[in-house]
Amino acid sequence: MSAMILPGSSTPLGATPGPEGTNFAVSSGGDEVTLCLFDGDGAETRLVLPERDGDIWHGFTDLGTYPRKAEILAEHCAAVGRDPATIERSAGVTGSGDALLADADAFVALGVTFLTVGVNGPDYDLSRAEALCRWRDRR
């Protein structure tokens, strides 16, 4: 499997898929963190997370492979006897209006349980966060 990893963001922790890729952020006091990715045949690709902020190592990779990675994670969980539902998955949703809610629906269908929406100052328009909360409350 070929893959590329960019610096990404140190927040939020975990694997966070978004419309352009997946951000990985791991808390570790070690000298290096290696992300291990597996393809459908079990072939492994190792990627060293390229950036460190304090004890948070982080990197960003392509979202297009997220559904298959989630499937592989489920297969691995089955092999080791772990319920994949015990692994929290987070995603940043983008867009606005129907596109925002379509992103939320798509991520939930992939098993994501923690959705975030980005806001930037200085005006901090929270309308997308409010729409996401209303969507959540209707579910």
Same domain, 12 and 80: yes
| Percent of all residues in the chain with a pLDDT value above 70, rounded to a whole number | 81
Comparing 2 with 110, which gets the higher pLDDT? 110
Please, what is the angle between helix 97-109 and helix 127-138, to 10°? Answer: 50
CATH classification of the domain holding 27: 2.60.40.10
Residues 61, 21: Cα–Cα separation, whole Å: 5
44 sits in which H/E element? strand 44-48
- 56 forms beta bridges with 27, 53
Structure-block tokens of residue 92? 């940043």
Same domain, 81 and 98: no
Residues 54, 35: Cα–Cα separation, whole Å: 18
| Cβ neighbours, 10 Å, residue 70 | 18
Range of the domain at 118: 94-139
The alpha-carbon radius of gyration of the chain (Å, integer) is 16
pTM, two decimal places: 0.51
**Mean predicted confidence (pLDDT) in 102-115:** 79
Same domain, 136 and 98: yes
Residues 48, 4: Cα–Cα separation, whole Å: 10
Same domain, 64 and 120: no
Same domain, 20 and 52: yes
pLDDT tens for residues 16-75? 876 667 788 888 888 888 887 766 667 777 778 878 888 888 776 655 556 766 777 777
